[in-house]
Structure 1
Amino acid sequence: MSAPMDLDPSKPSKRPEPSLSNLLARPRVHFGSIEETERQKRAKSENSNEAPYYNKPTWPAPQCDPQLPPTLAEEDTGMGLSESSARAREKHKAVLDEFERKKRARTIAVPTDDGRVRAKLRELGEPQCLFGEGPGDRRDRLRFLLSKMGGTDAMEVEEEEEESESEEEKDEEFYTPGTQELLEARRWMATYSLPKHVVARERLTKQRIEHEFPLPQLKSLRKDLHTHLKAFVNWSSQVADDRPVAQCSFSPDAKMIATGAWSGLCKIWSVPNCECLHTLRDHTYRLDNPNASNLGHNDRVGGVVFHPQSTISLDRGAANLASGAADGTVYLWSFDRDTPLASLSGHRARVARVGFHPSGRFLGTASYDSTWRLWDVETTQELLLQEGHSREVYAIGFQEDGALVASG
């Protein structure tokens, strides 16, 4: 057991009294501003030629790799990096480099002409074309290569592009020469369409009146039309071909319908019984006469249309029907024979649609070769080859009065 403590107050205490030195030795917390002290030190440093006290080096600065980013270089201060840290540093540097490359790529202008893109790739020592690469992919590859090289070549390409555009603007032709037959055809169309301006004026007047209808009345008319259309039922049906049917067209008297299929066959059917009246390509006849020509389409039919006066006032032996197919040919057909009356050749790709002028004297054709053409039905002569579309032309149609034609 320990001895009891002596608690007699008359006896002197053994704890030493705190002295001034002991009190000053203890840590203290000071409150206030050191601005005045710092100002005095700065003024003293400026008066002398010595560097400020806060700029004096107190230890040698670590030697950092100048090729590394500052944040990464400052971390390596005297000790080697582990393998994982080195890989992380390299990965971080690669990400930064790729970000800068993409930033440069967005500002690079490359030529739009594929020939100039190939020439630039050849100049850089790169393959002109890779397997399965299109013009757009080739431009992206050139932009990628230029972004890796820097901004100098990109500026050269941009300047070359501007010079090329200025040269193209100087050499651009706004008018192309036309034949005398085309001039006569246009004059004939103007003579045909001008008297019909009364009909066009009546149509515009009717449309303006309909435009002034109040909204509730328009909704009521649309609802009545929708109710009427819902009452339509299937009258008759028929299997028209072994391959898909691509196009069908009613005759002007609505008593016949023509179909064009992917097999190359054009057929004429009765309405409403759907009985086949004519087959405008005879497979048996072709097999029996392999050397015969002018027997019809041998590829997918894309367009078939009746003459505007067919079944009304046009003779059965005249060109009552026109069709176009993927073999690039356009045929004119009559009701008296199963083989075409005439062939209109000129398109270099698939014929998507055909359309008669309201007068029936001219025929328009739209093709995948980015052009539409105007033909004289009587002479089978090509009057106009109209360019302007950058891609395939899928449709063509004439205005009711024959003054305008639309293609797309």
Structure 2
Amino acid sequence: MAMENGPPAAPSSPTPPPPPALAPLPRPPTAPPPSTDGTISDREGSAPPQSAIIDEYEISEESRLIRERQDKARQELLLKRKAFAMAVPTKPESVRDRLRRLGEPVTLFGERDMERRDRLRAIMLRLDAEGQLERVLKAHEEEEKAEEEEDEMGPIKYPFFTVGSKELLDARMDLAKYSLARAAARLERARRRREDPDEDPDGECEEVLRLASGFSLDCSEIGDDRPLTGCSFSRDGSLLATSSWSGVTKIWSMPDVKRVSALKGHTDRATDVVFSPVDNCVATASADKTAKLWSSDASLLRSFNGHTDRLCRIAFHPSGKYLGTTSFDKSWRLWDVNTGVELLYQEGHSRRLYSICFHPDGSLAATCGLDALARVWDLRTGRSIMALQGHVKEVLGICFSPNGYHLATAGEDNTCRIWDLRKKRCIYIIPAHASLISQVKFEPQEGYFLATAAYDTKAMVWSAKDFKPVKTLIGHEGRVTDLDITSDGQTIATVGHDKTIKIWTCKNGNSGAMDVDEALPA
């Protein structure tokens, strides 16, 4: 057998099939790029909107509550904006009238004007949300109609007064007669002194101030175991009364300052004491809310009850028939000394009252208090005829001058102000002390000088002509709470927290003493 030339052939074997092709991995859909015009392309194969993707997920309970709170806060904000955009009356009377017309309570307990206005706004908003806007519009129309009628008729004026008692009417008649006679006598005396060539008021004033410059400490006596609060000379200067925190008021003989009697009856601190201008009766005030009237032999004559808070200063009317009291209950009262009847209950200060004094003629009363205000009242009509504003802190002392037209006030701003009642303004400010001034008083005969007591442990004497300092009375070791001057102007008594009574006299004796004028009717 013939063989073919060439290499031997390999044995035959089956050829394996090619491996299967793998499928491509799926890709997550992606959002198509934004088109040039700012919109999403709508070609096929583009991804669904993002909101559709979010809706495919289930919202948790916590997220749902958060969404509800946000929606609620958004609604409240919109309601508040709408409420403040509503037209709501601004006058308190109009707000009350609108509430009354809507059938709502006019006022709630302790509600202020602004709170009442906010409540009306909320009610109007609620009615608007409930579809009851007709009620609001109807109330508004009724208000406009009422305002038109009021404009045609004019504003309604309501008198502000209360019906007084028969006793008050009689007292005011008596005060008018008394004050008219006193004023006529004072003016006649001033006219006589001006026209009489033998009279020299300026020279007399200079002499009195010269004597006042010689005031010196004559006597010092322990007055009580507790701080002293008030002092007062009797009309002839033979007796001195002092009050203290112990509640006991003591009567001392002058000029040796020996204790005569003790008036015990108050259950709390005694705040003031004053002698009657017509006899030796003594009136005391106390923090137990009462004032008491005592005879010269230390027997209790009468108690004046009515105030609802502690009493401060008190004063007798020049006639001696009436007693004025001030209290921390923001009122002052006028009492009949003979019967103990409360004739007048008078408000007018916004804060606590502290002191009171009466005009020498008996026609006016002046009060001051912790509202930094002094008021002048006409006792014959009961009206406040003057409000003296100028002090920046509490006013604690007040006193009329014997000339009839000057008034001195002093207080916690360390100043003493002199007011002219004819001009109705302050004419001089005395920077008197370095601390609170507790009392101010004019020399009671002619008013040639005035004295001030203060918490800087000093008392000072000032000229009433040019208001320059005349004498500084140094001797107390504590706060000086009160002072008084005798009718002849020769003796000054001061008391203070150092529990002592100090008597200051002129060294010239009685040769330069002023003659007490008896021309004024009693």
In the superposition, the TM-score normalised over structure 1's length comes to 0.49
In the superposition, the TM-score normalised over structure 2's length comes to 0.39
| Higher RCO by CA contacts (8 Å cutoff, separation 6 or greater) | 2
Higher helix share: 1
